[in-house]
Amino acid sequence: MNKMKKYLLCILGMLSALVSITSCQETNEIEKLYLTRCWQLSSVYGTAADVNLYVDFDEDGEFVICQLTDGYTYAVFKGTYTTTVDGDKSVLSGVYDDGTPWVSDYTYVVDSTRRELILESVDSPSVTSVYVPAEMPDYTRGVGFASANIVKPL
């Protein structure tokens, strides 16, 4: 009877773990599905950020970061990202194309309406940034502010 009980408990445990894993995977898949689109930074450290910073995550695990920086030029960074699950948290990691890893991994949350993405640094949990849906600007369109007009003295 005890053997039977242990056997049933074992089966139950395995089933429970399976359900739990499946659930996590589903959650992760949904979160990732929600994640894949272009976002614009709206606040950092709890302060509204009136800046042009865009992050686009595609379904193939590639990202593009486009940030309006010195001289009104768009600095563009590309690379790959992965999503994993750590307990009940979805975690985002990435590597730039030049081999530089992101400065941190981030837990991420996307609300079900896909209107807000929140990233929180795994290393510094209080460092959060919030993003809203946006269209990626045509960052390939020009050479930017500093050298916009190519004129050389004769």
Question: Taking a C-beta distance cutoff of 8 angstroms, is the pair 150, 70 a contact?
Answer: no
Judged by CB under 8 A, which of 32, 37, 39, 41 binds another protein? 41
Q: Does residue 64 bind another protein (CB under 8 A)? A: no
72 lies in the binding site for another protein (CB under 8 A): yes
Tell me how far, at minimum, the Cβ of 13 lies from another protein, in Å: 39
User: Does residue number 139 form part of the binding site for another protein (CB under 8 A)?
Assistant: no
Q: Interface mask (CB under 8 A) for another protein, residues 1-30, using x and -?
A: ------------------------------
Tell how strand 62-69 and strand 89-96 pair up: unpaired
Exactly one of 32, 39, 83, 106 binds another protein (CB under 8 A); that residue is: 106
- 102 vs 99: CA distance, rounded Å: 9
Interstrand relation of 62-69 and 47-48 (parallel, antiparallel or unpaired): unpaired
| CA–CA gap between residue 90 and residue 57 (Å, rounded) | 15
